[in-house]
Amino acid sequence: MTIKSKDEIAAALAPVAQELITAAERDATAQLATADQTVARAAAGARSQVDSLVANAHAQAEADAGAAAAAERARGRREARALILAAHREVVAALASSARESASHLAKDPDYPMWRDALAAYATQLLGAGTVVHDDPDGGVVAEAGDRRIDLRLAGFAERALTELGAELGLEPPEVLA
């Protein structure tokens, strides 16, 4: 399969990109629903814990003239924030895992050989003569020519899609993908 122009490459890669985006969006929607529930539970638990800590802090404040109460409230806020951040990290990790799994399923698609060939042709076009293309066990390719390398693994596409989705949602980049 010979690809001669960027438009042909884009057209050949479009089904891969669209499938990754569709899978990532589907998984993101499910994961975000779960995340909302997890965060709501964590926030409710944190609020309850904060309320309890604040009530204790008020009693302490009356006894200790306020300094201890301020410290206790600050500790309660830090603990509540830590609980919410932990829930967020769990959701992001689950979403990342789901994105990687969706990407690896594309390698089992009947059209995968065509997509793989398009990725290899694209890598060869970018890196030029002497390009050596290696198949990734989870799908996609990694190509090298001298000291230049291009990563066109399906997992890499999923990682970039997840990072882009996270940016749109205002989430921090998922370190779990590294």
In the chain, domain spans:
6-177
For the ranges 72-76, 131-135, 167-171, the maximum mean pLDDT occurs at 131-135
CA angle 18, 128, 123 (to 5 degrees): 20
CA diameter of the chain: 81
Residue-level pLDDT at 110: 93
* Rounded Cα–Cα distance for residues 150 and 144 (Å): 7
| Contacts within 8 Å (CB) and 24+ apart, 87-90 | 87/35, 87/38, 87/39, 87/41, 87/42, 88/35, 88/39, 88/171, 90/38
Q: Is residue 6 scored above 50 in pLDDT?
A: yes
Mean per-residue pLDDT, 48-58: 80
Mean per-residue pLDDT, 4-30: 74
* Rounded Cα–Cα distance for residues 19 and 24 (Å): 8
Q: What is the pTM of this model?
A: 0.52
Kindly report, residue by residue over 60-113, the tens digit of the pLDDT. 767 766 666 678 888 888 988 888 878 777 877 777 788 778 877 888 889 999
* Rounded Cα–Cα distance for residues 149 and 112 (Å): 22
* Rounded Cα–Cα distance for residues 143 and 118 (Å): 13
Helix, strand, coil percentages for the chain (3-state, nearest 5): 75, 10, 15
